[in-house]
Amino acid sequence: PIARSDMKGEVQRCIDAGVSHLHVDVFDGVYLDSPYALTFGPQMVGAIKKRFAEHPELVLDIHLCVDRPARYATAMADSGASRIIFMFEAMSLDEAVKLAQTITSLGMKCGVSINPDTSISEIYPLLETGLVDLVDILAVEPGFGGQKFNPVSEQKIKDLRQWREEQQSKNGIDVQILVDGGINAKTIRRVVQAGADICVVGTAIFQHKDGFSDALKELMDRRNTGREQK
């Protein structure tokens, strides 16, 4: 299991294994109403960025599951975040566009995340602005690790992949498709076949019975098989 008292060591373990992205879930205990849903803030993001400055290739994706996410944009930019991913359901469409403008104006990339119950078509107007370069499709309810994969995400991935292909040929708009939650050796091939570009994995590697390295190798092998079968 992950050693929460040794964040430096855990990040180093990821880097040593060849991980290129760190997905940092930021919960404030308000957006998800639970005293246990309180994780990291800008100080932790800044500490990671400073400690691993010799790895400029390391992407820090900050997933904001917070009340009033716009409050955190400048602080996360100052801390060295590469990208902010915000919850689409936390605001209106107009507010989402304004937040995306703020994030990109601060020099970061911008992503948007949607819950399992949200239709993928609801975010198309936001994507059409060209401000968002990544869509985080949640395959579990936002909150805690170890949840079971929700297969509804597979159709969303397929639909977004088709929309992306149409937009690329029409106006050059492009987004990466990220799937988040419930990813393991059984589900990673399915989501990659559906069209996912990036998979967020937590429990399946940090709590694997054979250890971190073996778990990551198994996942990479299954991912590559999925790509070949697209």
Q: Hey, CA dihedral for 37, 41, 45, 51, is it positive or negative?
A: negative
Q: Is 117 annotated as catalytic?
A: no
Q: Hey, CA dihedral for 100, 69, 138, 225, is it positive or negative?
A: positive
Under DSSP, is residue 11 helix (H, G, I), strand (E, B) or coil? helix
Q: Write out the two tokens for 197.
A: 């570009």
d(CA 62, CA 74): 13
Q: Is 25 annotated as catalytic?
A: yes
d(CA 228, CA 109): 29
Matching residue, tokens 């930021």: 26
Which residue in 6, 133, 180, 197 is the catalytic one? 180
Which residue in 25, 28, 61, 136 is the catalytic one? 25
CA distances in angstroms from 145 to 122, 126, 186, 200, listed in the order given: 26, 28, 17, 11
Q: Write out the two tokens for 55.
A: 């790895």
Active site residues: 25, 180
